A and B are shown apart, each in its own frame.
Chain A
Amino acid sequence: MTHQPVDSEHAPHKRWVKSSHWIITLSFFALVFTGVEMIMVHPRFYWGEVGNDLTPVLFELPVSRNYQHGGWEKSVPFSEAAGAPVSAARTYDIFNQNGWGRSLHFLAGWFLLVPGLIYFIAGIFTGHFRKHLWPKEFSLKLFWNDIINHVRMQIPPATNGPQYGLLQKLSYVIVLFFLMPVIVMTGMTMSPAITAAYPFLLKIFFGAQSARTIHFFASTALVLFLIVHVVMVIKSGFKQQVRAMTIGK
């Protein structure tokens, strides 16, 4: 084996990039799986601090038997005042697997948070973000050409390393510096202990239920990214790409 000097034009993926990529991939699958389970328990979404079966809904997903189940006793107002808030007892045995769903979600969350933080720190200090992810040669013309190429499904072949196209860089930047921080922080905004310590979270996401709704949309965006990502990997040479991201040197 000869050691050739590698310039950043042909550098392979770094080991810390590969490990964090796959740990976070596994954690992401667990998070999506349990996230869907939790939506099935309460498929209603709201805006603001408050939302429950007795308050107005933003939208409701028809994803489980809990959808519009209607199993409530007659509402009892808390006071005689007109439009007073009400209470009602639930008579319907809802679908609820949150016992393991929640615990698995939070366990998987650790496997996103810790490797994610290590990845961010390494990305900054090794210059990975600056060298490989930041679209420094950005121009509208290049941007447009890259869109046209993607529409025509003319995907450049695998480079076996972090030499990314313009749209590819932009989508990675959006995922890493926007969707990931938003999904982690909105997740934390649903935690009573964390919001007690850091109430600004409730302010920036407009309340606990808004945070839940934003969390849902951010996760949907991440799932869409994953689908496009896998399609692009297949289009640019699946075997070669997977090798480059695992055992390839």
Chain B
Amino acid sequence: MEKKKIITRRKAIITGLTSIGGLFLAGCSKPLPPTYGNILRMGDNLTYVAHRALLPGQSLAKEYNYRDISSFPATGTTNPASFNEDYSRLQKNAFADWALPIEGSVSRPGSYSLADLQKFPSHTHITRHTCEEGWTAIGQWTGVPLSTILQSVGILPSARFINFYAYDGYIDSIDLLDAFHPQTMLAYGMNGRDLPVAHGAPVRVRVENQIGYKSMKYLQRIVVTDEFVDPGDSGWAWYTGI
């Protein structure tokens, strides 16, 4: 006779499935980006839900010393002036006329010039930029925490996503956990100087808990929304904490 096991296989499978179900339940109560029926986007969502469920929230990305600052390639768009006349005009005037509208689910929508942003208490950190291509670089970023700006415009309790629109045509969004992460900022300085055009002047986003392409350059507009805004399947993962 086989001795009765304390945990039977059936019990283990049922327990396992129940706990996995719990994971998806947590995912369903929040809006998720669409999958377009694409199995890769389903995998991206699984990773997103698993990271949000299993990783401790708001952990700080490692910060480095000044002497760790490294050479830093400029990739993707390196100057929108070559195809965007609005940006070209702003660049000619050293971005004095640049202003960042913040609208949507906020009680005090407004527009912030570079000088307005620089009036807020500034935040500086030295972090590692991880590009999806496989390279990394360490840089120092100075700016205003995104949470400061969101509080300044009075983000509404119904808000769930922060959408960024850029002068080079990019559109992307982050959830509120990343938006209120202490290291997420609107950066106007790099390595102690004004943010260079090749790296996103006058203001770019820094999302230190995700891959580099979430840190959008050349900010044009921010829209706070209650729902996920679908920009269409770009072929790239929306959540890139991995």
Contacts and interface: CB of A to CB of B under 8 A. Distances in A.
B130 A100 contact: no
Interface string B206-242: 0011110000000000000000000000111100011
A50 B128 contact: yes
B130 A190 contact: yes
Contacts of A99: 234-237
B71 A55 contact: yes
B78 interface: yes
B179 to A, nearest CB: 15
Nearest to B234: A99
Contact of B74 (A38, A41, A89): A89
Interface of B is mostly: loop
B37 interface: no
Contacts of A89: 73-75, 78-79, 198
Contact of B70 (A55, A76, A88, A110): A55
Contacts of A87: 71-74, 196, 198-199
A94 interface: yes
Contact of B73 (A49, A88, A110): A88
A79 interface: yes
Contacts of B79: 89
A41 B51 contact: no
Interface in A33-89: 38-39, 41-42, 44, 49-55, 72, 75-76, 78-79, 85-89
A5 B211 CA distance: 56
Size category, A interface: 35 or more
Interface string B25-61: 0000000000000011111101100010001100111
Contact of B133 (A42, A76, A103): A42
A86 B71 contact: yes
B169 interface: no
A85 B193 CA distance: 13
A241 B123 CA distance: 62
A194 B241 contact: yes
A197 B51 CA distance: 10
A191 interface: yes
Contacts of A75: 71
Interface in A98-120: 98-100, 102-104, 106-107, 110, 118
Interface string A205-220: 0001100100000000
Contacts of A38: 134
A199 interface: yes
A196 interface: yes
A193 interface: yes
A194 B55 contact: yes
A102 B235 CA distance: 11
B90 interface: no
B122 interface: no
A192 B130 contact: yes
A195 interface: yes
A31 interface: no
A208 B51 contact: no
A199 B79 CA distance: 35
8 contacts: A42-B133, A49-B68, A87-B74, A89-B78, A96-B133, A107-B44, A107-B46, A191-B242
Given A94-B133, A110-B46, 11 more contacts: A38-B134, A50-B70, A51-B135, A54-B73, A89-B79, A90-B74, A100-B40, A100-B235, A191-B241, A192-B128, A196-B60
Interface of B: 16, 39-44, 46-47, 51, 55-56, 59-62, 64, 68-75, 78-79, 128, 130-138, 190-193, 196, 198-199, 208-211, 234-237, 241-242
